[in-house]
Amino acid sequence: MTLACRKLSPHPQSSARQHSGPWLVWLHGLLGSGEDWLPVAELCGDIPSLLIDLPGHGNSVALTTTSFEDISRQLSETLQANGIREYWLAGYSLGGRIAMFHACYGNPVGLQGLLVEGGNLGLESDELREARFQQDCQWAQRFRHEPLPQVLTDWYQQAVFADLDSQQREQLVAERANNHGPAVADMLEATSLGHQPWLLPALQRLNVPYTYLCGERDHKFQQLARQYPLPLRTLARAGHNAHRANPGAFAAQVLSFLSQSSFSPPSR
């Protein structure tokens, strides 16, 4: 496969030729697309944004990836192809896990800082990783072989989405039903928590600033952030998908983080 075919599909909000400073690069969650970030990106002032479609999603539906290492390389190639030399990397859920891996184990040349929303740090034992991989494989089989609305109805019953009411669940099922089930399944298996390293030690060694954003009703990931501890920023009136529930508060936290981080910009 050529490099051109392996680049992720972006939704640029600005032109790299018109901006010499750092960009905001956004990575969505499983079943989403780069456009999920549009309400937040539009509230981030004049900072240009690159809204990326991950493999198997949106305009990257025909693109595959094999591992966290592979998608980190794809991300680097996409940034290079778009002329982005300095950037802040923001990711939600699966996108947050990819962002953390890229910052910790990829080749993050030009990375200025990391913003993670509800991203899992990984699992600490081989037994837990194997169990999670088997669970993700079961979901993947359903995504491949069952009607997508039926699978999504069960998907959004998981505990992490407990803050959603029935109307919000129905809306998400309707929106996400335009995905291609087999492509989602491939991505789910390639980026399973069962394949992800335990990221906390590497995060603690990062030489760029990072923050961890979490909705006030996302009890699972708030507990995780306080347990280790992570530099937590809490979003009011929001659960696991905080940027969707409260884009204004999310954008305000992003701008606050960027402002504080810009006083002494780190280098790679």
Q: What DSSP letter does each residue of 51-96 carry, written as one string?
A: EEEPTTSGGGTT----SHHHHHHHHHHHHHHTT--SEEEEEETHHH
Residue 6, pLDDT score: 42
How do residues 210-261 score in pLDDT, each as one tens digit?
999 999 999 999 999 999 999 999 999 898 999 999 999 999 999 999 998 8
Tokens of 261: 């981080």
Cβ-based neighbours of 157, under 8 Å, separated by 6 or more:
169
Q: How far apart are CA 251 and CA 93, in angstroms?
A: 17
DSSP 8: P
Which CA distances in Å does 222 have to 44, 115, 119, 227, 233? 24, 15, 11, 9, 9
How do residues 75-89 score in pLDDT, each as one tens digit?
999 999 999 999 999
Nearest to 262 by CA among 22, 34, 91, 8: 22
Residue 19, pLDDT score: 59
Residue 42, pLDDT score: 94
What phi and psi, each to the nearest 5 degrees, are found at residue 175? -70, -40
Query: pTM score, two decimals?
Result: 0.92
Helix 68-81 to helix 94-105 angle, to the nearest 10 degrees?
80
Residue 128, classified by CB atoms within 10 Å of its CB into exposed (0-12), middle (13-18) or buried (19+), is middle
Residue 7, pLDDT score: 53
How do residues 94-141 score in pLDDT, each as one tens digit?
999 999 999 999 999 999 999 999 999 999 999 999 999 999 999 999
Q: Examine the pLDDT at 1 and tell me if it is beyond 50.
A: no
Position 2 confidence tier, pLDDT thresholds 50, 70, 90: very low
User: Residues of 97-113 as b/e, b for ≥16 C-beta within 10 angstroms?
Assistant: bbbbbbbbebebebbbb
Helix 166-176 to helix 148-155 angle, to the nearest 10 degrees?
140
